[in-house]
Amino acid sequence: MTTGNDPSNSDDLAFVRGGPSHRLAQRLGMTRPGLRPRLIKIALLLLLTWVPLALLSFLSGHAFGDAVAIPFVHDPEVQARFLFVLPLLELAELIVAVGLATQSKHLAGMGVVPERDRARYAAAQRQAIGLRNSVFAEGAIVVLSLTTALVSRLILGFGAEDSSWERVASALTPAGWWYTLVSLPVLYFFLLRWVWVFLLWALFLFKTSRLDLELTATHPDRTGGLGFIGWGLASFATVLMAYSAMFSAAFADEILHQGASLDSIKYHVVVVVVAALIVLHAPMLVFSGKLLRCRFKGLLEFGALVWRHDRAFDEKWIVSPKNENGEKILGSPDVSSLADIASCYEHVDRMLPIPFDVKAFAVLVLAALLPMIPLLGTAIPLKEIFAKLVELLV
C-alpha cells in the first residue's frame, strides 16, 4: 500500500474500488481523476438501463397516455431508481473511498495502533482489500443481482392485476423484459456491492478492535481518541440517501397506484430511517468492550488521583488554613488545579461506549430524510409546499 499524503491517489481507495468491474472501468478510461470520466460513466449507465426502457415503452405505446394503468412516465419507482439512485451510488464512490482511506491512515498514524501491532493492522487491511478485489465475491454479487431481479419480476410479480408499461395481462412487455434482464440486475449489482463494501469495512473495524489499542480516557472526543471513526460515518451519507430514495419511491408508488395514504406509511418512514441509522452505527459496537474498560480504568485511576489531590487541598486550606508562607486561598493556583482535575474526571465519566459524533449523526439523519420529502407531494400540491417554504425564508 502506498503512503502518500493524498488519499485520492492512494491504494487505500481499494477499500471501495476493486474487483473485475473496477478493472474493466480502468481499461475503458473511466477511473481517471476528474468529474468528466465519472459523468461519462453515469451517462453510459443511463444508456444501458433507463433509455431502453423509455424507448421500448414509447414504441409499445406505454410511455404515457391511457393505454395502460401505469404508463412509464408515471412510475415513480423506475424514475427514481435509474435517474437518481444509480447515479448517486456511482458518485458516492469517491466520497466514501476517501473517507475510509483517511480513517484507516489516521488509525495507524495517530498512535492508537501501537507499533507492536502494526503488522496485524496491516494484515487486517490486506484481508479487507483482498476480499474487495475477489473475483469470486464480485461474481457472487452478479449472480445474486440477476437472481433477485428474476425472482422479483417473474415469480413474485407474476399475476399482477394492474396493467403497466412493464406488464400487460400478466405478460412482460419488451420494456419489462429489458427491465428484468438488464436494468434491475445492474441496479441490484450497485446496491449489493455497497452492502459488501460496508461489511468489509465492518470486518476491518472488528479486526482493528482486537488489537491492543492505546486509548486515552481523558480525550475530549469522549471515545478514547476514536471519535474520528464516528464522524467518518458521514461519508456514507450519499449511499444512505440512495437507499432511502429507493424506499421513498416504493412508498410513492403505494400512494399513487395502490391506494395507500401518506398517513398510513408515516411509520414505515420512521422504521426505515431508524433501521438505517442502527445498521450504520452497528459496526461501532466492536469497540464497546475496550471503551468501557478504558472508562472503568480511567475512573479508578483518576478517582484515586482526585482523592489524593482533594486530601492535600483539605490539609492545606481547610485543616490548616494558615500555612507557613501566609498564602491566601483567593487567587491561589490550588483552586484552579482543583477545577482542572475535576474537569478531567468528568471527561472520563462521560465516555461513550461507541465512537459517536453528533454532527455526523445529524448528517446521516438528513440524508435519510431528504428523499422522503417528495412523499409530501402525493398529499399536498407541490405549489403549496414551495409557497410555504418561500414564506418561511422571507
- Residue 380, pLDDT score: 60
User: How far apart are the C-alpha atoms of 259 and 145, rounded to whole Å?
Assistant: 30
Could you state, in chain order, the average pLDDT of each consecutive group of 10 residues for the chain (394 residues)?
39 72 80 78 94 95 89 93 95 89 84 88 91 92 95 73 80 93 96 95 94 87 89 94 94 85 86 94 94 86 70 63 52 54 74 91 94 76 61 58
- Residue 383, pLDDT score: 62
User: How far apart are the C-alpha atoms of 278 and 265, rounded to whole Å?
Assistant: 20
- Residue 8, pLDDT score: 36
- Residue 195, pLDDT score: 95
Q: Which helix (H) or strand (E) holds 59?
A: helix 35-60
What is the CA angle 101-126-8, rounded to 5? 25
Contacts of 191 (CB under 8 A, 6+ apart): 89, 243, 246
Instruction: For 89-130, give the DSSP string.
Output: HHHHHHHHHHHHHHHHHHHHHTTSS-GGGHHHHHHHHHHHHH
**SS3 category, 185:** helix
Sign of CA dihedral 93, 94, 95, 101: positive
Write out pLDDT tens, residues 308-330. Answer: 666 666 666 566 655 554 555 54
- Residue 202, pLDDT score: 94
Residue 277: burial class (beta carbons within 10 Å; 0-12, 13-18, 19+): middle
Sign of CA dihedral 221, 224, 229, 230: negative
Task: Please tell me the pTM assigned to this model.
Answer: 0.83
**SS3 category, 221:** coil
- Locate 61 and state its grid cell: 405505446
Q: How many residues does the chain have?
A: 394
- Residue 266, pLDDT score: 84
Looking at every residue in the chain, the average pLDDT score rounds to 83
